[in-house]
Amino acid sequence: MLEVKPCKFGVGVFATQDIAADTKVCDVVGKLIDYATSAALGDRECDPLQVGPNLYLAWEDPARLINHACEPNCGIRFDGTKYDMFAVKNIAKGEELLWDYSNSMGDDETWRLECGCGSSNCRAVVGPFSGLPAETQRTYRKLGIVLPFLCG
């Protein structure tokens, strides 16, 4: 269902078949680590996924390789025991899978990313969930793709 291949961001994850909205596209798995362990990764510090105020998931491919977009076609859901990446829109064969990194970024986060997604609603900078427009936050909550620690 998925293929890792070159894209404008280096590498990305692409659909090898049409994927219907609300379909699980891959597992989001890895080892849980704290912020200090994440920071000690040096230039790979941004790789782990924030899943709590001081908790990160050193996640595995292919989920780790899914790039950011301000208008994503997928997102991470947590069912109380595990994380999974789901399509939030229909994704056509050959299309790159994209999720909004802000859906896992708390207010204490100092990391920022210049966005190059090119969408008509591009925010130019990827930052914490609380900095998203209110309507975007509501939409993401409705889709169930905001990590629970941000919904407190």
Q: What is the pLDDT of residues 102-120, one digit of tens each?
A: 999 988 756 788 999 999 9
Strand 67-68 relative to strand 98-99, pairing: parallel
Cα–Cα dist 39/25, whole Å? 29
The whole-model pTM stands at 0.94
Per-residue confidence band for 45, with pLDDT thresholds at 50, 70 and 90: confident
Cα–Cα dist 107/97, whole Å? 26
Cα–Cα dist 46/86, whole Å? 22
Per-residue confidence band for 18, with pLDDT thresholds at 50, 70 and 90: very high
Question: Which residue range(s) make up the domain with 117?
Answer: 2-150
Q: What is the pLDDT of residues 46-90, one digit of tens each?
A: 889 999 988 999 999 999 999 999 999 999 999 999 999 999 999
The domain that holds 143 is classified in CATH as 2.170.270.10
Task: Please report, for residues 15, 34, 114, 119, 148, the alpha-carbon distance to residue 53 in angstroms, rounded to integers and kept in the order given.
Answer: 32, 9, 23, 29, 11
Task: Please report, for residues 39, 46, 112, 150, the alpha-carbon distance to residue 56 in angstroms, rounded to integers and kept in the order given.
Answer: 10, 10, 16, 14
Q: What is the pLDDT of residues 118-137, one digit of tens each?
A: 999 899 999 999 999 999 99
The pLDDT of residue 110 = 66
Our count of domains for the chain comes to 1
Cα–Cα dist 59/41, whole Å? 13
The pLDDT of residue 111 = 73
71 touches 97 (CB < 8 A): no
